[in-house]
Structure 1
Amino acid sequence: MTTCSGMDDRAVKAILFDLDNTLIETSRAGGVAIQRTSELLKTTLGLDDNTIRSICDNFKQKLLHESFDPSCGRSIDDVRVRHWEESIAETAGGCFTPSLATQCYYLWKSSRLELLCLSPEVHNLLRQLRSRYKLLLLTNGEARTQREKVEAVKCEEFFDAIVIGGEHAEQKPCRSIFTLCFSMLELEAQDCVMVGDSLDTDIKGGFNAGVRATVWVNSADGAVLDGSVKPHYTIPTVLDLPDILAQLK
């Protein structure tokens, strides 16, 4: 655990949590989902492992750089089926059954949701914190996709409020969505701690919004890059958060 000095003595009253790769292992679930989809592609298309891997890598890149506009008349499901269609065509070429992209998408989606859960340890942590602090879930992402994750994880009971970035004009790290959170909690920024795995959204957003402290969950043991906002605290797992809160009393 690493720390940064300069904190005041104001008591913490609320904790804002990110969801993906903070409370749940989204990356791990996504990896398993991609593997299952790879097996479907290999069985259906009869291609070599490298080509199958390239198709899946192509899909992941499209997902990473995805820009979704709800007003376009297409659902997020439609957009992501299209990602698979393009990934297969761009990598393998040739003809394939149009329904294959749809099969790939729904296998990937259902597999990922099936694997998302609060571990027993995180479940107990939230239950303990809930008795002492107000808790708010603040997650970026397309509204329906993130709501499906919340529902799959069954974590609503732990939070005083759930704020999905895709349901608002701006997402993390914009100050407006943090201001909304403080208003919903009926607290000031300095009453709150922001906990998340992303320096660019969680930590930068919390820091700029003026929270009491930012806590970076750095499971990969990566370094803070030059130019990145520096978290007040760094922990390898959210389960270490009570140690930080003890310092902030």
Structure 2
Amino acid sequence: MEHSGVSVLIFDLDNTLVDTAAAGKVAIQKVSELLKSKVDETKINDICGRFLHKLFEENFDPSRGQTIDDVRINHWHEALQEVEGVDPIQGLASDCYYTWKTTRLQVLALSPEVLTLLENLRSSYKLLLLTNGDSQTQREKIEVLKCEKLFSAVLVGGEHSEQKPAASIFTHCFKLLGVKPEDCIMVGDSLDTDIQGGINAGVRATVWINKKGVSPPKDSAIPDYTIPSILDLPKVLANLR
């Protein structure tokens, strides 16, 4: 079924369909508990904060011969070394990483409400999942969420030459589903990648998930619609009819 020319909904994954940030907080707490018997407790927040900063600034290039696991174990190694001032206990960085990774994956889940929403939408639209990130990390999330069957196609940015907001990966989406940009809506939580990417690609409309209710930064991409939750998307779709 087609509504006002819109036949495809393109969704971001992290912090759009699934609360990756909340899962990350649980994972960091688990690492903090692990570190209590290994380092001075007053240093734990600093160590974890440094890891998170390195994760945020991460620029992973698989052509360098490292896996994402290698890179992130090294993030923990550097964080421990910087705070402790000496090389960490052998294996501690690896223990921190796998505790963080395993916990985050264990708590990631599509809420029943989001699952129902997607199941309802797919009866009227083609759904496409477009997520930035390296292949291993994102595929692990998709596997644990068991969500691939909900989408007509799933694209991971790290498996292509360019990621969002580059127009090229959107063009690949359009060709994959045999649609035009104006047939599609982009839904995501990032103004820099999701909304700007949708604008760059010329989609019919962009929808920003603004959970915190913040004002867009100056000179940022301007979404066509802003909603506090993915669950409010049907209201936007009704306005487009």
Structure 1 and Structure 2 fold alike (TM over 0.5): yes
1:95 CA drift (Å): 4.6
- Report the Cα distance in structure 2 between the residues aligned to 1:152 and 1:81, rounded to whole angstroms: 21
- Report the Cα distance in structure 2 between the residues aligned to 1:202 and 1:157, rounded to whole angstroms: 22
Higher relative contact order (CA 8 A, sep 6+): 1
- Report the Cα distance in structure 2 between the residues aligned to 1:85 and 1:98, rounded to whole angstroms: 10
2:28 alignment partner in structure 1: 34
1:48 aligns with 2:26: no
Q: Is the 8 A contact 1:10 1:190 kept in 2?
A: no
SS at match of 1:16: strand
The number of residues matched between the two structures is 239
1:96 CA drift (Å): 3.1
Residues 171-214 of structure 1, C-alpha deviations (whole Å, 9 max, x = no match): 00000000001111110000000000000000000012111110
Q: 4+ runs of 1 displaced by more than 4 Å?
A: none
Q: TM-score, normalised by structure 2?
A: 0.97
1:191 alignment partner in structure 2: 183
Q: Is the 8 A contact 1:11 1:248 kept in 2?
A: no
2:26 counterpart letter in structure 1: V
1:124 counterpart letter in structure 2: T
1:65 alignment partner in structure 2: 57
Runs of 5+ unmatched residues, structure 2: none
User: 1:117 pairs with 109, 112, 115, which one?
Assistant: 109
RMSD of equivalent CA atoms: 1.0
User: 2:125 pairs with 100, 116, 133, which one?
Assistant: 133
Runs of 5+ unmatched residues, structure 1: 1-8
1:107 CA drift (Å): 0.3
Residues 127-164 of structure 1, C-alpha deviations (whole Å, 9 max, x = no match): 00011000000000011100001001110111000000
1:240 aligns with 2:229: no
- Report the Cα distance in structure 1 between the residues aligned to 2:93 and 2:148, rounded to whole angstroms: 32
1:23 aligns with 2:17: yes
Residues 27-50 of structure 1, C-alpha deviations (whole Å, 9 max, x = no match): 0000110011011112222x133x
Q: TM-score, normalised by structure 1?
A: 0.94
1:142 alignment partner in structure 2: 134
